[in-house]
Structure 1
Amino acid sequence: MTDRPKETTEFWRHPRFRDLGLLKARFRQHRYDRHTHPTYVIALITGGCERVSVGRVNLVAPAGTVLVVNPEEWHDGEAGADDGWAYRTFYPSLQLMTEVAGELGQHGPPLFAREVIADAGLARALALAHQGSTAAAAASAETSMLTALRQLILRHGQGDGRPEPVESSGSRRRLALYQEVIERNLAADLDLQRLALAAGVTRFQVIRDFKKVAGLTPAAFIRDRRLRHANHLIEQGASLAQAAAEAGFADQSHLSRTFRAMHGMTPGMFRKAG
């Protein structure tokens, strides 16, 4: 007789978007009573199957699908298979989703007509965003989260048909502005909004500009510049803890992991070499 998976629940807040809660759970016997949320509910089913009622509609959400519930919609949830279901869920606020939709050229909060969505690309993006929300690099978590929400809204939201605003030229000029802001604020909590404001564009345009010109995400570019600054400080005799703090790393361990991943050695080895 095989052991059935245990019920587990974890909940936390996104490191960049504090009005976005995240849940990782596995349930076999738990049953949600009918309830509402002031937020959206975006649930990536990662295992088993969930049976839900949204409004007056009864649905089944199998593994690999995305369940979306609009704010204030009545819904419940229970196991749709013998072993229950596992999921990674996002609870973005109405304000956050409205802001993201606005940057995509839409007016007002996005609404979703289909409760259960079968979209492998969206599922991959949501999985990456959910997993990345626990990483030390908040800039990377921000980029993956915005990318996933963009896919959800543009592919499956009931938009007003307006095209997403895209700046087709000036990427190199804007990248120079981004680089200036980054290098002046390495120790600060750099986010995409600061870069977007510097160039007068949306956060999504910032992501496109980095990909077009540098072939990187903004987070990868920031990480590279922070590491280069840490290298310089270590060469000048700074302690590893001091270099980590002044270069914008979360702590010395964060610096060491990044250093080893990018240089194949520890910062301690680099420092000993003189």
Structure 2
Amino acid sequence: MVIPKPVFWRDSRMPYVELRKVADGRQVCYAPHSHTQWSIGAITEGQSTFCYRQDRCQVGAGDLVLINPDWVHACNPIDNQPWAYLMLYIDTQWLTALRYRLGLLKAPEWEDIGTAIISERRFYLGYCDLAACLLNSQESLAVKQAMISEYLADVMLSVEDEPLLLPDKMPGVLRELADYLDENAIKEITIEEMCLRCGYSAGHLIRTFKLHFNLTPHAYQVNRRIQQGQRELKQGRSIVDAALSAGFTDQPHFQRTFKRMIAATPNEYRQSSVKEKIDTAAHK
């Protein structure tokens, strides 16, 4: 049996949104990871486990999952049973501006959302209609833009009152270390260098960092590298160039790590970008 490949939809005229469609998720297994975008997914068939920071639960057809930017998560099949899903990745700055215009933020600065799961039928059906609209090459740009804005405004207005439970306040030295790793993601930074920067022992650093970021410092850095690789592939860069730009001198290592965290090969991800460029050129 041939497992359908994941489909990625993008449009350069709407750079703030990306859609992923997986028709059969039995071969889709994620390592814990995060995205720079805010994301919202819909389970369209079957069931899966949803791990979100320290929480773990089961979600099924009709459920929506909401994931804050940089929050570690993973969604995987249960006992190799069939399941399918759609996932929208929304640029954080764009969504921040939308929430601010709606009067949901006091300032145009991102605030995490407490809601993790929505099971209300109307939001699920609206999500499926939105995905069908985006995937429809015959639909106009204006309709797609209006539909994404209207749907997300409806969702944002419904979830803003949910409480947000967070771990204890993060030590400033950890935030500084994370910022340093962000700025130097493609460099090899040893645990010894990290310890010198924050004054922690290796064991204490790993435990404390994982408490606040849900990843070890090394996994955090690898996650950032893969995000850099995604950005390069979206621009149509070759897999070799994307790997080098993301700090991987070994292309097979990049491909294995990318597949483990994105549940798609770099080529599958890149092909959607190349196709989008061809389709856009054809409509000019």
Letter in 1 for 2:154: Q
Q: 1:18 to 1:112 in 2, by over 3 A?
A: same
Letter in 2 for 1:30: V
% of aligned pairs identical?
Answer: 21
Q: 1:27 to 1:141 in 2, by over 3 A?
A: same
**2-structure distance, mates of 1:70, 1:134:** 24
Q: 2:15 aligns with which of 18, 36, 39?
A: 18
TM-aligned CA deviation for residue 80 of structure 1: 2.8
**2-structure distance, mates of 1:48, 1:99:** 35
**1-structure distance, mates of 2:100, 2:162:** 11
Matches for 1:24-103 after TM superposition, within 5 Å = 24-25=21-22, 26-80=24-78, 82-103=80-101
Give the aligned partner of residue 203 of structure 1. none
**2-structure distance, mates of 1:37, 1:54:** 13
TM-aligned CA deviation for residue 84 of structure 1: 2.9
Q: 1:130 to 1:110 in 2, by over 3 A?
A: farther
Give the paired residue count: 160
- Of 77-86 and 32-41, deviating more is 77-86
**1-structure distance, mates of 2:12, 2:61:** 27
Q: 2:18·2:89 contact (CA, 8 Å) conserved in 1?
A: yes
**1-structure distance, mates of 2:78, 2:155:** 24
CA RMSD of aligned residues (A): 2.4
Structure 2 stretches lacking a partner, 5+ long: 164-281
Which 4+ stretches in 1 moved above 2 angstroms? 5-8, 14-17, 80-84, 108-112, 157-160
Q: 1:140 aligns with which of 140, 143, 163?
A: 143
**TM-score under structure 2 length normalisation:** 0.52
Instruction: Give the number of the structure with larger relative contact order, counting CA–CA contacts within 8 Å between residues 6 or more apart.
Output: 2
**TM-score under structure 1 length normalisation:** 0.53
Larger radius of gyration: 1
TM-aligned CA deviation for residue 110 of structure 1: 4.9
Q: Deviations over 1:236-259 (max 9, x none)?
A: xxxxxxxxxxxxxx969xxxxxxx
Matches for 1:154-165 after TM superposition, within 5 Å = 154-158=157-161
